Structure 1
């Protein structure tokens, strides 16, 4: 079992406010996405050899916005149900432990894109996303015990992380774990195809 660590846990006031809880991960994810220069990221994405079933780049923004929103809603639900004065002491403990795990998973989530696309370190990005998926899986289990809706709200995120882990490992493997100098010369047009994976 985890423990509650106040120094690395998002403040309780954020979890307790529905708008703040939902908007915080969306705002942080958007800020990281834009700080990684979307056009440069897309140029790298399209230059990489990709495993089957990779989505087009334009899918990621809407998908992550939805998943970040569900993540924030889950946090709000778990916190308000679990910290309710009428909830059991066990739910209080699970909620607080989950709040620390939530904060850790959010940090792991936010560093993946800079690791993969800016630093071009696929091994470190793979370690990060595997840890992120594990932490999120455990968080889903904990908060599911506090509130079924909170657990269910994390399920799509957990599923997407499994798929993202497959993509991360697949791209790393197909590109010999070296993403340096992998970039198309200019930002692609909408109908641009991926790099020829057969080369």
Structure 2
């Protein structure tokens, strides 16, 4: 379990305000996505061997947006349920979960640049597997504070498991070596 570390945790107002809680992961996720955007019709993208069950590229944007919204609302809900509780254990869990949320969000945002911009499939796969563990832990902590908040992360954890398979599968099928610059359209 993570302990609250204020120096690396998003400020409390992020969790206190529903609009901020909802929009922060969406805005950051989309910003990273746009910064490392890869044209699915480019030769570079098409040259990557993909594992079975790889969805079409147009699926990822809407899925991630929905997951970011759910993640953001779960953080708002767990924080407010914990911080307004008379149970001091729930207050502590809410603070601890804010640190874990911040860490997992950072890990989430790092995957795309690792995989696409830096062409580091091994590091990207390690990141997403660790992220899946962190998100699973976060769902468990949220569940101890507020059952609904915990369950709201279930689709996110499931998708991260699938995304881990895709990351590892693509890395493996391409010999863990993306020699081509896959961030540029050729």
Same fold (TM over 0.5): yes
1:2 CA drift (Å): 1.6
Partner in structure 2 of residue 57 of structure 1: 57
CA RMSD of superposed structures (Å):
1.7
3-state SS, counterpart of residue 153 of structure 2:
helix
1:184 CA drift (Å): 10
TM-score w.r.t. the length of structure 2 is 0.94
How many angstroms apart in 2 are the aligned matches of 1:108 and 1:94?
21
Partner in structure 1 of residue 174 of structure 2: 175
Query: Gapped runs of 5+ residues in structure 1?
Result: 188-199
1:138-177 to structure 2, matched below 5 A, reads: 138-177=137-176
Larger Rg: 1
1:31-46 to structure 2, matched below 5 A, reads: 31-39=31-39, 43=42, 44-46=44-46
Partner in structure 2 of residue 195 of structure 1: none
Query: Gapped runs of 5+ residues in structure 2?
Result: none
Partner in structure 2 of residue 90 of structure 1: 89
Deviation per CA, 1:92-135: give whole Å up to 9, x if none. 11111110000000000001000000101000001100110111
TM-score w.r.t. the length of structure 1 is 0.88
Partner in structure 2 of residue 127 of structure 1: 126
Change (3 A) 1:92 1:42: farther
How many angstroms apart in 2 are the aligned matches of 1:60 and 1:102?
22
Partner in structure 2 of residue 113 of structure 1: 112
1:177 CA drift (Å): 0.2
1:164 CA drift (Å): 0.3
3-state SS, counterpart of residue 176 of structure 1:
coil
Change (3 A) 1:184 1:107: closer
How many angstroms apart in 2 are the aligned matches of 1:184 and 1:92?
44
How many angstroms apart in 2 are the aligned matches of 1:176 and 1:132?
23
1:180 CA drift (Å): 1.7
Whether the aligned pair in 2 keeps the contact of 1:98 and 1:143 (CA below 8 Å) is: yes
Whether the aligned pair in 1 keeps the contact of 2:38 and 2:182 (CA below 8 Å) is: no
